[in-house]
A and B are shown apart, each in its own frame.
Chain A
């Protein structure tokens, strides 16, 4: 490099978009949201700084019940997704070879290119009172009247599991593929059976994939709005609904900001905890 100033200028030009993006669209908005969440309305047009909005959250059972319920159902969703996805990922990564493997993997991904709204709509058509499954059960003689399968907790979990599947299958297939078959063979040669080989070799090896899949699925379920509303109905009691209601319906932004922050804290804690448990960093997991 003959010209020393040019790279410097280049660096500044390259950095400008990054800094503008991160500060103006990510950092400052979150700081501002936090400031708003510790602002209390004491009288019309009079505001004070304080933790009243967070106090309100703990004082009103509906709020923290919804919060806890959202967290628990998201954990449940994560577990169910993992249990369903693991054998499928293993099959794709280890049992199949060549073209068949590529085809099945793509087939796994394709549904997720379609909008979440469309996928949820599909479940509504299947599960509603006049839906396909209810009609089928009546036709088969297994039910003598229409069955409403929408608007239950189980329906919400079914929808969330469906929506999250991709984010579990991809990291699992990737980590399982990197496991050398000879380790599994060695496990059997040394007298292991299917169960012990799974427990001692395959699962420890797949742990990074399991963790990153679980983190993403949990976070997406926690922050989901569409699926709980459409499949769970008005009483689905999902925490994002509370946030939406405070912001848009009741126009109580201070309270909504506090709720938003509480959700962000929960989601970040889980991500952080998951990474700590598996001794990974955010850059490795996502990048």
Chain B
């Protein structure tokens, strides 16, 4: 069943039809979300009542546009804040980890490597509750012993950032390691021979080489953080990131405003996805 093997016409036709149906199945849910962002009605459903931009720009109730909706705008702000810190932290730690596992030898290396992979196979909700339980223990312990309340470790943005960081770092590490593995170490040795210090060699030779992977890991980390739901749900305090705000709205019943936010998210995700694929392609050519 490869092109060089003759196949009956009917089989080819059925197969191609199946593939088309599959892609329809993939795209239709996203398509309807996008289309109904422009429906001039109170619910994102048929009948179609005409085209409008109200769900984006209108400043009056009941059709409050998302750009004037303070809870949604705040949610986006909170999500951007969280995603920024998760990205910075996970790319930094991911880079350290990549150098550690690709370049160094140390006791328990294999054990630590498995441990490093582990967060990927722990369900997100469990990561969330374990962190919730542990931070509570720490806060109570510190309060009992020192009489000081570590307010920032109560459910809230610090915990959300730590919770997301705890598994996104694994992904960042894997992305960066994959590129570091392909690096020709003799380039670094040449720099050392020419009199550069170890740090200068890494900074001027190795890090520029890693740049596509660092950006790629950053994009993935940013998106995963922005879209994370499970871990965030357990750790969230009074400042809700966008996914939590949207989830609460969705449970109450949806208006096309949700479609409008979703469309915005899709556009941003698509741009980031294409950027990341482009970065990877460049990586492949070198």
Interface residues of A (CB under 8 A from B): 6, 10-11, 14-15, 17-18, 21-22, 25-30, 32-33, 36, 84, 87-88, 90-91, 94-95, 97, 104, 106-111, 113-119, 121-126, 128, 130-132, 135, 162, 165, 181, 184-185, 188, 194, 197-198, 215, 219-220, 222-226, 229-230, 240, 243-244, 247-248, 253, 256-257, 260, 263-264, 267-268, 271, 282-283, 286-287
Q: Is B112 an interface residue (CB 8 A)?
A: yes
Which listed residue (A22, A25, A185, A264) contacts B131, Cβ 8 A?
Answer: A25
The CA-CA distance from A49 to B279 in the complex, in Å, is 53
Given A256-B129, A287-B174, A116:B1 Cβ within 8 A: no
Cβ–Cβ contact B131 & A122, under 8 A: no
User: Which residue numbers of B lie inside 8 Å of A, CB to CB?
Assistant: 1-5, 15, 18-19, 22-23, 25-33, 36, 43-47, 92-93, 96-97, 99-100, 104, 106, 110, 112-127, 129-134, 136-137, 162, 165-166, 169, 174, 177, 198, 223, 226-227, 229-230, 233-234, 243, 246-247, 250-251, 254, 258-259, 262, 265-266, 269-270, 272-273, 277
Q: Inside 8 A of B32's CB, which chain A residues have their CB?
A: 122, 125-126, 132
A95 and B2 form a contact (CB under 8 A)? yes
B45 contact set on A, CB distance < 8 A: 125, 128, 130-132, 135
Given contacts A14-B97, A197-B1, 15 further A-B contacts (CB under 8 A): A14-B104, A17-B92, A17-B97, A27-B115, A33-B134, A95-B2, A117-B247, A117-B250, A121-B259, A125-B36, A135-B45, A162-B25, A181-B4, A260-B126, A263-B123
- Nearest A residue to B11 via CB reads A194
Q: Across the interface, which residues of A come within 8 angstroms of B27, CB to CB?
A: 111
Given contact pairs A33-B129, A107-B23, A181-B2, A118 touches B166 in the complex (Cβ within 8 A) = no
CB neighbours (8 Å) of A33 from chain B are: 126, 129-130, 133-134
| B265 shortest CB reach to chain A, Å | 6
A257 to B133, Cβ gap below 8 A?
yes
Say how far A180's CB is from chain B's closest CB, in angstroms: 10
Query: Which 5 pairs across A and B sit closest by C-beta, in order of nearness?
Result: A223-B123, A122-B29, A29-B134, A29-B130, A115-B227
Task: Determine which of A26, A32, A113 lies in contact with B118 in the assembled complex, contact meaning CB atoms within 8 Å.
Answer: A26
User: How far, in angstroms, from A65 to B262 measured CA to CA in the complex?
Assistant: 35
A128 to B29, CA, bound (A): 13
Nearest-Cβ distance from residue A130 to partner chain B, whole angstroms: 5
Give min CB distance, A145 to chain B, whole Å: 15
A29 to B99, CA, bound (A): 26
**A107 contacts across to B, CB distance below 8 A:** 23, 26
Cα A117 to Cα B226 in complex, Å, equals 11
| A283–B133 CA distance with the chains assembled, in angstroms | 29
- Inter-chain CA distance A257–B223, complex, in Å, is 29
Q: Which residue of B lies closest to A215 (CB)?
A: B121
How many angstroms from the CA of A97 to the CA of B273 in the assembled complex? Answer: 23
Residues of B close to A263: CB separation below 8 A = 123, 125-126
Closest to A183 in B: B2
Task: Decide: B123 and A219 in contact? CB cutoff 8 A.
Answer: yes
Q: How far is the CA of A15 from the CA of B110 in the complex (A)?
A: 14
A188 and B96 within 8 A (CB): no
Complex: how many Å from CA A271 to CA B118? Answer: 11
With both chains docked as a complex, state the minimum distance between the C-beta of A239 and any C-beta of chain B, in angstroms: 10
Q: What are 8 contact pairs spanning A and B, CB under 8 A?
A: A29-B131, A33-B129, A117-B250, A121-B33, A122-B30, A220-B123, A256-B129, A283-B117
Which of A28, A109, A118, A215 is close to B262, meaning CB atoms less than 8 Å apart?
A: A118
Q: Closest residue to A88 on the B side, CB-wise?
A: B22
Which residues does chain B contribute within 8 Å of A27, judged by CB atoms? 115
- Taking the closest CB of chain A, its distance from the CB of B183, in whole angstroms, is 16
* Contact B28 A32, beta carbon cutoff 8 Å: no
Instruction: Please name the residue on chain A nearest to B162 by beta carbon.
Output: A25
Q: Given known contacts A22-B115, A125-B33, is B230 in contact with A223 (CB within 8 Å)?
A: yes
Q: Decide: A113 near B269, CB < 8 A? Known: A22-B116, A87-B15, A121-B258.
A: yes
- Give B93's nearest chain A residue, CB to CB: A17
Q: Which of A17, A126, A257 contacts B28 (CB 8 A)?
A: A126
Indicate whether A113 sits within 8 Å of B5 (C-beta atoms), given known contacts A28-B134, A286-B117.
no
Question: Known contacts A94-B2, A110-B273, A126-B29; is A223 also within 8 Å of B125 by CB?
Answer: yes
Known: A14-B104, A15-B106, A247-B234. A84 touches B112 (CB 8 A): no
Complex: A126 Cα to B27 Cα, angstroms: 12
Residue ID in chain A nearest B27 by CB atoms: A111
Is B26's CB under 8 angstroms from A108's CB?
A: yes
B29, chain A: closest CB distance, angstroms: 3
User: Given A26-B118, A87-B15, A244-B125, does the pair A114, B131 have CB atoms closer than 8 Å?
Assistant: no
- In whole angstroms, what is the CA distance A229 to B23 when docked? 26
A117 to B227, CA, bound (A): 8
- Answer whether A113 and B223 are a contact pair too, CB < 8 Å, given A125-B33, A257-B133: yes
- Distance from A256 Cβ to chain B, minimum over Cβ atoms (Å): 6
Q: Is the CB of B269 within 8 A of A95?
A: no
Cα A88 to Cα B25 in complex, Å, equals: 12
CA distance A112 to B51 in the complex (A): 28
How distant is the Cα of A10 from the Cα of B28 in the complex, in angstroms?
52
